[in-house]
Structure 1
Amino acid sequence: MNKSTIALPRRSILAGLAAAPGAAMLASATNALAQTASVAPAANNIRYLTQKVGDVEVYYREAGPADAPTILLLHGFPTSGHMFRDLIPLLSDRYRIIAPDLPGFGLTKAPPHGQFTYSFDSLAQVVNGFVEAINLKRYAIYIFDYGAPTGLRVAMAHPERVSAIITQNGNAYVEGLSEGWNPIQKYWKDPSDTNRQALRDFLKPDSVRWQYLQGVPDPTLVSSDGSNLDSYYLSRPGIDEIQLDLFLDYRSNVALYPAFQAYFRKEQPPVLATWGKNDPFFVPAGAEAYKRDLPKAEVHFFDTGHFALETHHREIAALIGDFLAKNR
């Protein structure tokens, strides 16, 4: 397994962005990449690396001292490790931060649809292989959206590696699912082509932008860079079918909720829940439910939406720092 440094990530990405639909999306995505590359010295210089895991080449961000306690950041739909661009510099002065792009997202290279099983089991297997390939022995794990069922599979497979869990709108309880899941649940019950095609609206730029803004009291605080970059990645050939497969397979996560909860009860990992209380997909009851199995869980709500880091990265970073200082 080889690890290599991406020496000129912006050049190769920007060449591909020329094919992105619309000049506005290109300009905003360019701004996003420039923002990611402009890191303060306190961030210990974010490095952009790749690591082979079987047929997958995982692209990831790494920052912080190599000998510091590690935090593994797992993103959700429809984003990538880019979503952590504001959080990483606030933690990497005292933590080693690792933020991979999952297969089917961002800049991770994986076999095309039809040659690789795009399921949450597969995502977790790749993350487990990635953790082993870069020799992470123990780490706290930050789980968000799709990163939650992926990361919790990883934690169940190797509970001895996980020192703590930070869940930011990362659901593990049925009461956390909002009515926003109804169209997807309809697809679970009847995986017909009609129901599959009906979910394509979730992949459109307007829908992606809506996910960033819904529930945010002041939308002017949310840059368009992140959502436009996500929409570019979603526009690549074959990615739509991958995402539709994952919509269907999300039902496997709900089926695993009892197993996740049994893991919580048995292992009692320290848990910090930081939740955008206006999330249209994962409602506050999902955060409160952690206390049922983990009485010592810390739960904090913010007046924002699904992508809480867009508006509250400073507050969340402060909570993480205090929490991990107590749970190493």
Structure 2
Amino acid sequence: MVGATTHRRMQLDDLSIFYRDAGPPEAPVLLLPHGYPCSSFQFRQLMPALADRWRTIALDWPGFGYSSTPDLTAFGYDFDAYADVLAKLADAFGLERYALWLHDYGSQIGLRHAISYPDRVTALIIQNGDIYEDVLGPKYAVIKAWWADKTPDKHRPLEAAVSEDGFRAEFIGEVADDVAMRVPPDLWKLHWPLMDTPVRRQVAVDLMEKLEANLAWFPRYQAYLRAHHPPTLFVWGPEDGYMPAASARAYHRDLPDAELYLIDRAGHWLLETHFDDALPLIREFLARVHA
């Protein structure tokens, strides 16, 4: 069936990785690393919508979705460890050239991968992924408060965010009510039970903590963009307290020719709320730069 998405597993060393795969095996590939607090489920609409001309592959990171959850002593659960998983997945598929989708934590992971393998990356599509410290949005205030004062009181909001209510707030807490109604509750109702284990809750909190060390990578990400100028499309939801419109526009410092679309009234999860606005932009871009 044309456009059908298959759901499979692969073994990468000691990791059991769940992934979704759509499109002809010989077609140009778009890799879809996911963000927080979600899984490959976030790409369930996009993958079949591109499958007539492109192959799309989306995985669940270790500790998320349907992938395995090694003990905290057996896997790093940081952006370097996840970038290593992405490289191993690409190698397992025998991929030599592909485009990358960058969103949320996936942008930190994907750009580390691009720095290591610049000759593989044909193009970038960036959906709300931040790499400029001076334009981080106001919602970073809670995390910054803990960075500045590592006390239990400052840490509790991070812990509280890793909950069903916290996930719900991430998905619908910033957009207007009529936009929020487009977001299916499955995103938190189905995902939270998968995340509600001691190790997975700790992983999610730890990743928020590790954003502080990740700031040191921001200049390296920017240097990669300046050095390689990958063809880049931005489809961005400006109603985002972590990554507002200024976070998108900042990329033009290093990619002045990149295509930037701020989708009106969309937020961090625009593929849920403004899919029909984003899809033509994505298809037209891929047809020009990743055929």
| 1:191-234 deviation per Cα after TM superposition (whole angstroms, max 9, x unaligned) | 44443333111112112111111332312211111121221222
Alignment of 1:22-37 (within 5 A): none
Following superposition, the deviation at residue 139 of structure 1 comes to 0.6
Distance in structure 2 (CA, Å) of the matches to 1:189 and 1:103: 29
Alignment of 1:152-167 (within 5 A): 152-167=111-126
Indicate conservation of the 8 Å contact 1:124/1:150, yes or no: yes
- Look up the match of 1:242: 203
Distance in structure 1 (CA, Å) of the matches to 2:272 and 2:102: 16
Q: Which amino acid aligns with 1:58?
A: I
Following superposition, the deviation at residue 266 of structure 1 comes to 0.4
Indicate conservation of the 8 Å contact 1:58/1:109, yes or no: yes
Indicate conservation of the 8 Å contact 1:78/1:234, yes or no: no
Can you give the 5+ residue segments of structure 1 that lack an aligned partner in the other structure? 1-40
1:287 to 234, 248, 265: 248
- Determine whether 1:310 maps to 2:272: yes
Distance in structure 2 (CA, Å) of the matches to 1:262 and 1:272: 18
Following superposition, the deviation at residue 86 of structure 1 comes to 1.2
Could you tell which deviates more after superposition, 140-149 or 174-183? 174-183
TM-score (norm 1): 0.84
Distance in structure 1 (CA, Å) of the matches to 2:70 and 2:205: 16
Distance in structure 1 (CA, Å) of the matches to 2:45 and 2:152: 39
- Look up the match of 1:62: 21
- Look up the match of 1:133: 92
Following superposition, the deviation at residue 131 of structure 1 comes to 1.0
Could you tell which deviates more after superposition, 301-310 or 190-199? 190-199
Q: Which amino acid aligns with 1:249?
A: K
| 1:138-184 deviation per Cα after TM superposition (whole angstroms, max 9, x unaligned) | 11100110000000000000000000000000111124411211221
- Look up the match of 1:38: none
Distance in structure 2 (CA, Å) of the matches to 1:266 and 1:214: 37
Identity %: 37
- Look up the match of 1:104: 63
Q: Size of the alignment, in residue pairs?
A: 287
1:278 to 225, 239, 243: 239
Partner secondary structure for residue 123 of structure 2: strand
Indicate conservation of the 8 Å contact 1:214/1:278, yes or no: no
Partner secondary structure for residue 140 of structure 1: strand
Alignment of 1:107-256 (within 5 A): 107-217=66-176, 218=178, 219-256=180-217
Following superposition, the deviation at residue 120 of structure 1 comes to 0.8
Distance in structure 1 (CA, Å) of the matches to 2:49 and 2:115: 29
How much is the aligned-residue C-alpha RMSD, in angstroms?
Answer: 1.5
Indicate conservation of the 8 Å contact 1:176/1:284, yes or no: no
Distance in structure 2 (CA, Å) of the matches to 1:176 and 1:270: 23
Indicate conservation of the 8 Å contact 1:101/1:108, yes or no: yes
Q: Which amino acid aligns with 2:142?
A: P
Q: Which amino acid aligns with 1:69?
A: P
| 1:98-153 deviation per Cα after TM superposition (whole angstroms, max 9, x unaligned) | 00111221111131223322111111111111111111111110011000000000
TM-score (norm 2): 0.94
Distance in structure 2 (CA, Å) of the matches to 1:156 and 1:198: 33
Indicate conservation of the 8 Å contact 1:71/1:141, yes or no: yes
Indicate conservation of the 8 Å contact 2:63/2:70, yes or no: no
